[in-house]
Amino acid sequence: MPKNARTRRWTAADLPDLTGRTAVVTGANSGIGLAAVDALARAGAHVVLAVRDTGRGEAAAATVRGARGTLEVRRLDLADLASVREFAASWDGDLDLLINNAGVMAVPEAVTKDGFEMQFGTNHLGHFALTNLLLPHITDRVVTVASSAHRLPGARIHFENLNLTGEYSPFRAYAQSKLANLLFTLELQRRLAAAGSPVRALAAHPGWSATNLQNRDANPLRRIGAQIGNRIIAQDSKAGALPTLYAAVQDLPGASYVGPSGPGEIRGTPTLVGRSPAASDPETARRLWAVSEELTGVTFPDRLRSTASSPERAH
């Protein structure tokens, strides 16, 4: 932890003036996604809420009052690659900031419309495709929301069985998807740097934030435990959004990982945090990228590809 991590509490009030800047936040109709939308809009940004249900998105946008910036709701279903392509194809103009926030956690076994395990397909592959399709428009940075769950014992990318067919467990799948988020960030940053792009890829995690995410847990006992923890341990969604916002605006190195500064990274002011050895392996990151391109049919943009394809060009 940096020596100055506890000297001053960074808050959304520390966001710079974002007037004239545009941000997309996925999964923006509740939790830390909506908290990030609120903070960015209050700082003057034009914020697009990318949500599966536009009715819920409009209702969420209506809760943001007194913002200097503007809000817009667009449909995006990360569990459907056709929807991802439609969203990206409709984009026109610059996009300063993409926040890959949406996610599902520890849900019962299911698959996306394209046949991918739901958590890997939504949390990783949907955002992988969205980012690469939007990358020609992105001018500043991509922030992907990961989780401390990437450190769970045995967490790895199951290349031989990404859908975990016959060996599915909700948290094994969740840990795989969150590890994938960090490996994606690592390889995206390598490719951007190799291409000489000024765009940066960073990751963040909210610690334990009281949101609706835990209510979808496949295990009823864990749901009850999470509800209790939400009341007595967790920080609220506004505090949970701070690492994401910090990663979005602070002058941090590419591939940085931001989380809460407190014990166990459960709560606290945002600071740079570490990641597991599995989340730091460039070879696994490159392998995951290649597999993700094959599964989604989406590749790194051609205009950036020539240098980024060569690992030795990245420094």
| Selected catalytic residue, list 168, 174, 246, 257 | 174
Would strands 138-145 and 46-51 be described as parallel, antiparallel, or unpaired?
unpaired
Say if residue 221 is exposed, middle or buried (CB neighbours under 10 Å; 0-12, 13-18, 19+): exposed
Active site residue 174: yes
Determine the straight-line distance between the first and last CA of the chain, rounded to whole angstroms.
24
Residues known to be catalytic: 174
